[in-house]
Amino acid sequence: MKKTLLALLASLIVPLISFAQEVGTEAPQTMDDKINAVFAPITTFIESIVFVPVNIGGLSIPFVLIWLIAGATIFTVYMGFVQFRAFGHSLDVVRGKYDDPDDAGEVSHFQALTAALSGTVGVGNIAGVAFAVSIGGPGATFWMILAGLLGMASKFTECSLGVMYRNINADGSVSGGPMYYLEKGFKEKGENWGKLGKVLAVLFAIACIGGSFGGGNMVQINQATNQLIEVTGGTESFLYGQGWIFGAIMAVVVGIVIIGGIKSIAKVTDKVVPFMVGIYVLGALVVLGYHFSDIPAAFGTIFSNAFSDKALYGGFIGVLIQGFRRAAFSNEAGVGSASIAHSAVKTDEPMSEGVVALLEPFIDTVVICTMTALVIVITNYGGAGAEAAFSGRDTLGDIGLTSQAFASVISWFPPVLGVAVILFALSTMISWSYYGLKAWTYIFGESQTNEIIYKFLFCGFVIVGSAISAKAVFDFGDAMIFAMCFPNIFGLYVLMPNVKRAYKEYMRKINSGEIARHD
């Protein structure tokens, strides 16, 4: 299978390079305009459904945002604030204190966590946070943190269900995620519920496939390519207008990793994720250490701005929207994607992975996104003229703003940030390839041929994404990712009593010693 897939990948590169070269040699925007012309009507239609607006306080708020935050809040209360009560236990589980090597599954708790984290910790943690702060002001940080904390309960619920209803195949491989708990969980409630669950599962899978090609692939490689061009000379870079070269290299790297499935992906992510997060957090700590005396004032600015009636886009509601939106885009809590990776864990206790999964939004949003926001706030809002610090930056939602903030203290950091961005993009792509693959095989059947076709297509889109900047394509990918949350959260509402019962029984076993701890 590996030789066949590599041969197919090689055959794919030639026509895609020809296409990418055409993009690079045509007049700027020409090819992108053609692609946008094709995708724009499709994207507009999808967005009109996914991001249908609701008027609150005179502001237009996407219903998908309300759907995600309402779900997170309900799961938090219903599960008894599990994200706080089980936090310490989750650290013990991810450290392997309760691991049993004989349990069914493919990867350890730590590997499952890093595989899922690699799908959410991406360029959005760098570029997206900059956009939220520049548009919503420093106060967006406060709401971003709150949304991240609430999202921990959503991750706990969906990832617990992912393990509860997963399929363990004859070869020992695992298939799980919303497709399976929507179908199997609803079927337990009766024939009509089963039919509804099947429809929801298929809708989720279709959206997941689209999201894997767009937001989980092309957006990531495009941002990484742009950052690499920037740090290697901008318009003078040897890659300027030739981004497909980097895309082809990354396509080969991604192809080699994803051939081996979740075990291969986990072996990469359990090394890449801690490394890339370490680089980024260390740089942020240096910047914050340099501005140590300004940190209290920065937090004061964040809290006061969070409730300010002078903030951009309508004051309090506008700031809240930007913070919640960034958190939702970043940690994907409620979207259901991470439960696909967590389903592959080696365990006979589904709740043990649920408590591990709740760490994901904490690391992704509460830690990494908050550190990005603090760096931007403390370097741009630290002195006189703070209110005008982002004047003229209302459309700057890329990595440039974050890079400038780091460079103000560490002049040589932008190239290092460029490496981090590439690692962030790589890890996100390989995790989303797994999500998309499981959705693909759910619809078309689990066979080597179907797996090869999907991986072939996925690697092709890596090259395409590096060569274009077609906004409609990227918007389509993001819309498909968020479309996943509608069937998923509805399913979580229906099945959350199952999770609550299982969690109570799990904690009884932990407290009684029935589930042994291995120190």
Count H helices and E strands in the chain, helices first.
24, 4
How far apart, in whole angstroms, are the C-alpha atoms of residue 32 and residue 218? 14
Q: How far apart, in Å, are the Cα atoms of 255 and each of 9, 250, 251, 434?
A: 8, 8, 6, 12
pLDDT tens digit string along 151-185? 899 999 999 999 999 888 777 778 888 999 999 99
Q: Has residue 384 got a pLDDT over 70?
A: no
**Could you tell me which residues come within 8 angstroms of residue 404 by beta carbon, excluding any fewer than 6 positions away?**
none
* Domains of the chain: residue spans and CATH: 2-512 (1.20.1740)
pLDDT digits (tens, 9 = 90+) for 420-450: 778 878 888 888 888 999 999 999 987 888 8
Distance CA 227, CA 223 (A): 6
Question: What does the pLDDT read at residue 389?
Answer: 41
Q: Is the CB of residue 467 less than 8 Å from the CB of residue 244? A: yes
H or E stretch including 175? strand 174-175
* pTM, 2 dp: 0.81
Q: What is the pLDDT of residues 233-259, one digit of tens each?
A: 767 777 777 777 888 888 888 888 877
CB atoms within 10 A of CB 485: 28
What pLDDT, on the 0 to 100 scale, is given for residue 16? 52
Two tokens, residue 270 = 């359990």
Question: Once rounded to an integer, what is the mean pLDDT over residues 44-52?
Answer: 81
Q: What is the reported pLDDT for 494?
A: 94
Closest by CA to 70, choosing from 162, 140, 150, 182, is 150
Q: What are 54's two structure tokens?
A: 């609701």
Phi then psi dihedrals of residue 329, to 5 deg: -65, -30
Does residue 383 register a pLDDT over 70? no
Q: Is the dihedral of CA 474, 64, 488, 444 positive or negative?
A: negative
Tokens read off for 295: 């940190």
Bridge partners, 56 (sequence order):
59
> Cβ neighbours of residue 108 under 8 Å, at least 6 residues apart?
96, 99, 266, 345, 346
The Cα 291–Cα 31 span in angstroms is 45
